[in-house]
Amino acid sequence: MKNNKKENELPENDHRILGQRLDLFSFHEISPGAPFWHPKGMMIFRELEKAARAINDENGYLEISTPILVKKEVFEKSGHWTHYRDNMFWFQNPTDKNETLVVKPMNCPESTYVYNSTTRSYKDLPLRLAEIGRLNRNERSGTLGGMFRVRQITMDDAHIYVRPDQVEDEVERVIDLIEKFYRGFGFEPRYVLATKPESAIGTKEDWDMAEKALSNALKKKNITFTVAKSEGAFYGPKIEVHMKDSQERDWQLGTAQLDLVMLPKQFDVSYTDEGGKKQMPWVIHRAIFGSFERFIGILLEHFNGALPFWLSPVQVAVLTINDTVKEYAVHVAKELKGAGIRVMLDDRNETIGKKIRENEMQKIPYLLVIGGKEAEAKTVAVRERGKGDTGVINLDAFLAHISKQKGAHA
């Protein structure tokens, strides 16, 4: 119901209200369910993207990028054309009636074309192909609501091609990434193992082995999990990663979905084993936080807009008391910028009280107030978000203090 509420009925920390107040993004009728990112919002998006890429780079993932428009034949093969057609956007090429193009709703099938572009041997596995792909899904406009249900989705997606005997190890690695990422925000991830449904395809032997690999990986990591019996996908069991936000709402964000047949069989994916025989790998569809849009919406609401330092669009604001200190204030801002800090200089002709209030409303982690004393002594008066006035220190000491936080997450 919440999605249907008018803006003025939304709670204070609703991400749509915060998005507007903090000047992060907007939605417009000309593109229902697709956010227009403003410069400050894009800064959050970019930092998250950077973190996702850093995780991938450190953990042996290779980044790919596949086309947004693909012929419908791809989705006929995957089965989506039959079962999911109304949820996709597609059109006939105006100059070629025989060509129907689909705006991709997922990256999965296309990753197999990269995999299949060359012969793969057992030595190439696990092959971890990551893609931060822009996807479009035909959500009904009545169901759209801010960042939680969008038509345009950006996923932190990866497809890991593995030998069945490598699944357990690989899932353990995925769990490590998830643990590190979520705990970095202070979230406690909760794990659910979804098992073989009625509609399952594939052999019982494969399913048993697959479910065992997933539960073994969780057990080895000493992770407690619940079992959602018969709630797996028809093509394989999965681990779902949930978190509770500050309002006790449960979100399913990450997944490690095992695929025993859909991609491998439909797209004829194979590798040659030690004996030169052709074998079918399994595929792990993996997402750490899922959709960028939804995750940013959740973070905004969870932190009530006061994002962690590394994600804050403006990290430090420098506030002048009057114009006589402007030269020093410019110097301070320049030093901070040089140290890789996102800094904003507020030298408006307003009272310092008003400047502090307004910048605090913007949830900026640090405000540096510059008056005559500070300019003379080459110091800064620090106001920390949530703590208020924390005293006067020299600029170098402040730089040393915040540089510790700069890379706190990724």
Please say which residue, 130 or 343, places its beta carbon nearer to Zn ion.
130
Q: Select from 100-108, 164-172, 173-181, 289-297 the region that touches Zn ion (CB under 5 A).
A: 100-108
Smallest gap from Cβ 339 to Zn ion, in A, equals 40
108 or 233: CB nearest Zn ion: 108
Measured distance CA(376)–CA(365) in Å, rounded:
25
Q: How far is the CB of 158 from Zn ion (least distance, A)?
A: 8
* Under rule CB under 5 A, residue 370 binds Zn ion: no
Which position among 285, 286, 355, 409 is part of the footprint of Zn ion (CB under 5 A)? Answer: 285
Which part of the chain contacts Zn ion (CB under 5 A), choosing from 104-112, 191-199, 345-353, 355-363? 104-112
Paired strand residues for 251? 243
User: Which residue, 233 or 375, is less far from Zn ion as judged by CB?
Assistant: 233
Provide the 10 A C-beta neighbour count for residue 178: 25
Percent helix, strand, coil in the chain, to 5, is 40, 30, 30
Between residues 268 and 384, which has the closer beta carbon with respect to Zn ion?
Answer: 268
Structure tokens at 68: 């947004």
379 class by beta-carbon count within 10 Å (0-12 exposed, 13-18 middle, 19+ buried):
buried
Burial class (CB in 10 A: 0-12, 13-18, 19+), 190: middle
Minimal distance, residue 257 CB to Zn ion, in Å:
7
391: left (phi > 0), else alpha (psi -120 to 50), else beta?
left
**Residue with structure tokens 């006939």?**
92
Of 10-18, 281-289, 310-318, 362-370, the segment contacting Zn ion by CB under 5 A is 281-289
Choice from 108, 162, 261, 296 touching Zn ion (CB under 5 A): 108
If residue 159 lies in a helix (H) or strand (E), which one and from where to where?
strand 152-162
Q: How many residues bind Zn ion (CB under 5 A)?
A: 2
| List of residues contacting Zn ion (CB under 5 A) | 108, 285
